[in-house]
Structure 1
Amino acid sequence: MKMDSRKMRKELEQRLAASNRNITYDRDKDQLRIENTTAGKGITISLPGIIANWHAHKEKAIDEVVYYVEEGLKAMEDKVQLTNHEKNIFPVIRSTSFPSEAEEGVSFLVDEHTAETKIYYAIDMGKTYRLIDSRVMENEGWEEKRIKEIALFNARSLPTPLKEDSVAGNVFYFLNSNDGYDASRILNKGFLNEMQKKVSGTMVLAVPHQDVLIIADVRNDRGYDVMAQMAMSFFAGGHVPITALSFIYEDGELEPIFILGKNK
């Protein structure tokens, strides 16, 4: 079966239809907007990316988008509270192309990270989280500095369970706890420095999507090729993709590298 924008649009419209929702389609941008008419807010999704994901994962790709939209719209109805919920504030990593403001023109709390990534801040609401924006900060009377300090402290407190694999004389470590903050562990300098002590070659990291952090102990040229292929594969399969590029970790700094894979 071939999937195109018309079929994907019809499928999503059927699955996301509800009495308090308005669904509109922007043909020029090939985007579907699902708006909660009660809250007056909505989520815009781009169909080409979902179609590409569908060709790789079939129904799972649609299930993930529906789940993301349903939870996101529910979160918009909930009143966001930072006070007395400090333990639920976390940093999240996004690509530099991710919007820097909410659709209503309210700016998100954002920090620079690398040439490929930015840091956003979120309040965990159980099954989903809501990105913190200027309106939330204003309503709660919170300053940026306080939110960032608490979020980074919480990120450092997250567990770091690793799975290990060896390929062609190189060692790869995978952090994939599926708590929504796997990529955020890249902000835990203490953890990265401990990993660096274990590495005998070059330490290379990747955050292809929000639910995985890959750390490689690259000991030969083949290791770079394997890392590039892994990062691209995870990037294509993640429902919140970040970047397919990898980073060298040296002297406490992350430097993006482009690896031109030679071997399949």
Structure 2
Amino acid sequence: MTSQKMRKLLEDRLANAQWSFSYDRKQDTLRIEHKETKKGTTVSLPGLIAKWEQNKEAALDEMIYYIREALQVMHEEQELQGKQKHIYPVIRSTSFPMKTEEGVELVCDEHTAETRVYYALDLGKTYRLIDEAMLKKENWTKAQIREVSIFNLRSLHIPMKEDAVAGNTFYFVNTNDGYDASRILNDAFLKQFSEKLKGTMAIAVPHQDVLILADIQNEVGYDILAQMTMSFFTNGRIPITALSFLYEDGELEPIFILGKNRRM
């Protein structure tokens, strides 16, 4: 699959008189936007091709779905008032834009050297990141958004699947509700979970839809976690970071895997 073929597939599937398409050869991205408002979304073609190589049409169908949802949301006026129960934090990479494509500041907070916290209004099938214009319009403060979002996050169920490998135990949260990685912000949950472990606690948020918790009991465990995290990072729809974190006394510290059984 080449970029040109993938571009053609997207343009054919998304054909709409109201939308325009523009290809950036240097970045190898396809921009889809509304002809009048110029609001839209940009797709990395190499990233989509990598997913297509593994999941074929399912990967393309998923991308088409999210593009359509995103474009629809962009053209609807969203209000925060009365929707406090639908505001959640979302984790993104520090390379994620801090402004909308229209230049409006997104509401966000620093988290770790690898991650940043943004805030979203849940719309059911998708969500919209909250920007400063939305806050100003309804006279909300960032502190209010932060408090409400964390309160809502704590109410989310945290089901886990467990897998033991080479004497280490790995736990996966993968509900696909859009906030799996966000659960890393649930301090009470992390503290309670850490008290049950026999070894060292490590955490990974390779992409939006998974949270990995690990009970590391030997050096091999770090290598396994690194490989696992990279695999999830490569295949995630919204990648966050391929690095893992050590969790100790409520703090997250990045783990740098240098080679087999070596870490910093």
TM-score norm. by structure 2 comes to: 0.95
Deviations 1:14-48 (A, max 9, x none): 11111211111122221111112354411111212
In the alignment, structure 1 segments of 5+ residues that lack a partner are: none
Which stretch shifts more, 214-223 or 27-36?
A: 27-36
Shift of 1:261: 4.7
Deviations 1:168-222 (A, max 9, x none): 1111111111100000000000000011001110000000111110000000011
Any idea what SS the aligned residue of 1:260 has?
strand
Q: How many pairs align?
A: 261
Q: 2:256 aligns with which of 252, 258, 261?
A: 258
Partner AA of 2:32 in structure 1: I
Deviations 1:68-124 (A, max 9, x none): 111101111221111100000000000111111100011101111011110000000
TM-score norm. by structure 1 comes to: 0.95
Aligned to 1:71: 69
Inter-partner Cα distance in structure 2 for 1:84 and 1:242: 31
Q: 1:136 aligns with which of 134, 137, 153?
A: 134
In the alignment, structure 2 segments of 5+ residues that lack a partner are: none
8 Å contact kept, 1:228–1:261: no
Aligned to 1:214: 212
Aligned to 2:121: 123
Inter-partner Cα distance in structure 2 for 1:189 and 1:16: 41
Inter-partner Cα distance in structure 1 for 2:87 and 2:48: 29
Inter-partner Cα distance in structure 1 for 2:58 and 2:212: 23
Shift of 1:251: 1.0
Any idea what SS the aligned residue of 1:198 has?
coil
Shift of 1:58: 2.1
Aligned to 2:190: 192
Inter-partner Cα distance in structure 1 for 2:61 and 2:239: 16
Any idea what SS the aligned residue of 1:153 has?
helix
Inter-partner Cα distance in structure 2 for 1:39 and 1:147: 27
Aligned to 1:167: 165
Aligned to 2:51: 53
Aligned to 2:99: 101
Partner AA of 1:179 in structure 2: D
